[in-house]
Structure 1
């Protein structure tokens, strides 16, 4: 037996089971009730979040995951629609577009490619292209307007009816980056095509080397005889991104790439 006074005896602390009332903890049934309340609150919060997320789905006007603004549904105008690309062509140009906003954008993108092709620098093929994509009511005017513009450019490149000087390869190609609809009413549409183009003469000693150019085509379209046809056309500069730091390829590589790589058919 210890001889220490009672107030100096060593104290023994017993660790009682959690929830034992004797230990000052909450009773087990009270803790279970508290846990049930917490779980109920969590379930309610999960349901609220799910409802909110559903409301922020496609078409709700919410900010897209790509970083667009709340009113930026049109910031991704070239998102795939799931509709198969058109399967018909006329004179090598895609035709048979649907009478929808997406169909108008597809037509405008493909027509922009045709207008920027090297075939536009040859009188006969230029007229064929414009007859294919143009509204018959204004085709003659489009041809007259284009003749002046393309013949002037052809001279600046040193072309003779579209043919480059001996030893040179003429390059003219348009690459659409995106499209947007300015107006649409079912029978008429105005579509802008932001695009990059390559143009110039590839070959040793070329004084007009192939360069890139950024611009925006603006096409007015009419629904004519079951397809979209161009009734008007204009072009404006830019937007122009910062030029990269890549090393410029030699002229033979450019000429080879143009001959080896075909273009695309554009469809929504």
Structure 2
């Protein structure tokens, strides 16, 4: 169940506005509060009650931090002249090539140069969702870069401060990371998000609202980890503005699901998960 914080942000589990940034979904295990969504993929062996309580506790912490970071953003408006696309049923043509290149380059590791249309807005939302729930945003050395690349200029200073407060040394310590956002020796912190689908719900030349249905893997891989890597399903809503010739985020929120039923696959061990994260790079997402 989601909650409205008065800013047009759906806070997910916490009742705060920022519902998910930063890999704090640990394990998404999840950022927002509520039960984490297990999706298709490895089914983890049953945990004893003590381990489960520990994991849930870490997840609630992460969700709370992200919610705090996004709190106070946006006024709930989506721009003048925006037209809704709710009720438009997706079909086979919704993912067909349009001939428009939705991404022209990369701003560091984050895609940029999105087309000034609904397709470009969806592509921007998908790529920004991946960045906002990445492990990198927990690292002080990279967080400011991500915020400056993703958000509109008017929100950058405010969000840098809020993110720094949310991902404090005390917070990082509670999720098993040092003050630089790194896991301890022999451990690998994982926060990898994969968009499954996108849709635009409001659109105008100057603003857009896009929803991104995501799955991902979150947690700490390593022997003795109290926050093992698990998967989750969630939806991020991003309010975008056209600024400086590109789509940028004005505010965002997150909620759990939709989540499919788990399968009976055997969970991979920590070494396999850590190796996969190191060897398989991410994608630039586009419609």
Alignment partner of 1:165 out of 184, 204, 214 = 184
The answer on whether the counterparts of 1:77 and 1:178 sit within 8 Å (CA) in structure 2 is: no
Alignment partner of 2:199 out of 160, 175, 180 = 180
Matches of 1:149 and 1:216, distance apart in 2:
21
Alignment partner of 2:245 out of 196, 202, 226 = 226
1:216 alignment partner in structure 2: 235
Matches of 1:78 and 1:148, distance apart in 2:
39
How large is the Cα RMSD of the aligned pairs?
1.9
Asked if 1:240 is matched to 2:259, the reply is yes
Rate the CA distance shift 1:153–1:177 in 2: closer, same or farther, 3 A: farther
Matches of 2:172 and 2:278, distance apart in 1:
20
SS across alignment from 1:144: helix
Alignment partner of 1:115 out of 118, 132, 135 = 132
Matches of 2:280 and 2:182, distance apart in 1:
20
SS across alignment from 2:218: strand
1:44 alignment partner in structure 2: none
Matches of 1:240 and 1:158, distance apart in 2:
27
RCO greater where, 1 or 2, for CA within 8 Å and sep 6 or more? 2
Matches of 1:233 and 1:85, distance apart in 2:
21
Rate the CA distance shift 1:103–1:71 in 2: closer, same or farther, 3 A: closer
Alignment partner of 2:223 out of 185, 200, 204 = 204
More helix by percentage: 1
Matches of 1:251 and 1:230, distance apart in 2:
35
Q: Rg bigger for which structure?
A: 1
Q: How many residues align?
A: 199
The answer on whether the counterparts of 1:99 and 1:186 sit within 8 Å (CA) in structure 2 is: yes
Alignment partner of 2:160 out of 113, 137, 143 = 143
1:19 alignment partner in structure 2: none
Rate the CA distance shift 1:73–1:238 in 2: closer, same or farther, 3 A: closer
Write out per-residue CA displacement over residues 19-64 of structure 1, whole angstroms, 9 at most, x where no aligned residue: xxxxxxxxxxxxxxxxxxxxxxxxxxxxxxxxxxxxxxxxxxxxxx
Q: CA deviation at 1:87?
A: 3.3
2:174 alignment partner in structure 1: 156
The answer on whether the counterparts of 1:221 and 1:230 sit within 8 Å (CA) in structure 2 is: yes
1:95 alignment partner in structure 2: 112
2:7 alignment partner in structure 1: none
With normalisation by structure 1, the TM-score equals: 0.70
Q: Which runs of 5+ in 1 are unaligned?
A: 1-69
2:101 alignment partner in structure 1: 84
Q: CA deviation at 1:88?
A: 1.1
